Amino acid sequence: MVLNKKGMVLTMVTITLLSIFAISYGAYSLIQDRSSINKRISTLNNFVASVEQDLPRQLFISGYRSVFLFNKKIIETGNYIDNTTESINEIFFNGTLDGETQDLMDSATFTYIQDFLTINAAKINAEITLLNPAIELTQDNPFNLKFTLNTTLIVTDTSGLASWNRSASIVSYVPLTNLEDPIYSVGTLGKATNKVNQTPYETFVSGADYTNLEDHFQNSYYKASASAPSYLQRLEGDFSSSPYGVESLVYPQDLTDAGINIKQKSLIDHIYFSNSDPQAYSVPAVNNLIIDNLADYDLTAPPATTI
């Protein structure tokens, strides 16, 4: 009886120890599994974050090359872009402009971006899709073009562990600096082009000092003007005013050097290269300067004479 009791006790102890071991092992395995899951989710989270950080850079490259090709087309044909909305969609999604393949877009189309992301996703055993993409070209300030890629970003773990599905608006701004001005390109038949460079001056005339105005004029710098067309409008040959308009002063010597006859009218670019011919004034203090909007250049009627 004593031996039987001892055997029972030993059995009970053994069963208890085995139970504790089984429970502990199960808990340990569960913790390990949870740790692996958390690590995997963290990896995928980091990938999604890197995609959202990289897409604006990819979009900048696509946008800049697109506008470069728009200007190239304008100079080659002497015609403005008929519809920038249609053209940006064609060049971004198809890599063509007016049906012609653009080699410069080989590594900047939507297909390239999708393939690039797919390759990177595969490295971490994930899949990525940019669903229902739509590209927009707009402006919300005078000296930058705004490219927006609207899409649904879907990232899925190949094992089915987790997935992300979110709407995204990827925005990238392309500065106008050193981009050709389409109005000059068409207006001079490509003989005297002008690149957009923002004026360093906030004040053009101070008392009897016209130095800033003269330098602004001779370099055909650009300033913001709500009376002028935006750069986006310039691409289409639209000379109407915009809250995001910019304008320069056409420097006659540049036209003369290119063998172009000078018109006797306001040298404000969107006036000079259009059919508009408002009352203009010459500014005796600055050789060859004729403008119609005196106030925008810190001028009043006394130092100017009517043309």
Q: What percent of the chain shows pLDDT beyond 70? A: 86
CA–CA gap between residue 44 and residue 283 (Å, rounded): 65
Which range is least confidently modeled, 86-90, 180-184, 212-216, 282-286? Answer: 282-286
pLDDT value at 167 more than 70: yes
pLDDT, mean of residues 227-239: 98
Distances (CA, A) of 14 to 3, 27, 63, 79: 16, 20, 73, 92
pLDDT, mean of residues 231-246: 98
Give just the sign of the alpha carbon dihedral 238, 243, 249, 254.
Answer: negative
pLDDT value at 27 more than 90: no
pLDDT value at 94 more than 50: yes
pLDDT value at 15 more than 80: no
Which range is least confidently modeled, 9-18, 244-253, 273-282? Answer: 9-18
Going by C-beta distance under 8 Å and a sequence separation of 6 or more, which residues neighbour residue 104?
65, 68, 69
* pLDDT of the residue at 300: 80
CA–CA gap between residue 153 and residue 176 (Å, rounded): 30
CA–CA gap between residue 93 and residue 95 (Å, rounded): 6
Give the CB-side neighbour count of residue 4, counting CA atoms within 13 A.
1
71: closest CA among 102, 93, 94?
102
Residue in this structure with the two tokens 């750069």, named with its chain if needed: 231
Q: Count Cβ atoms within 10 A of the Cβ of residue 82 and give its class: 0-12 exposed, 13-18 middle, 19 or more buried.
A: exposed
What angle do the packed helices 2-77 and 110-122 form, to 10 degrees?
Answer: 160
307: closest CA among 275, 282, 272, 276?
282
Number of C-beta neighbours around residue 156 at 10 A: 17
* pLDDT of the residue at 142: 98
Q: What would the pLDDT profile of 106-159 be if each residue is shown by its tens digit?
A: 999 999 999 999 999 999 999 999 999 999 999 999 999 999 999 999 999 888
pLDDT value at 18 more than 90: no
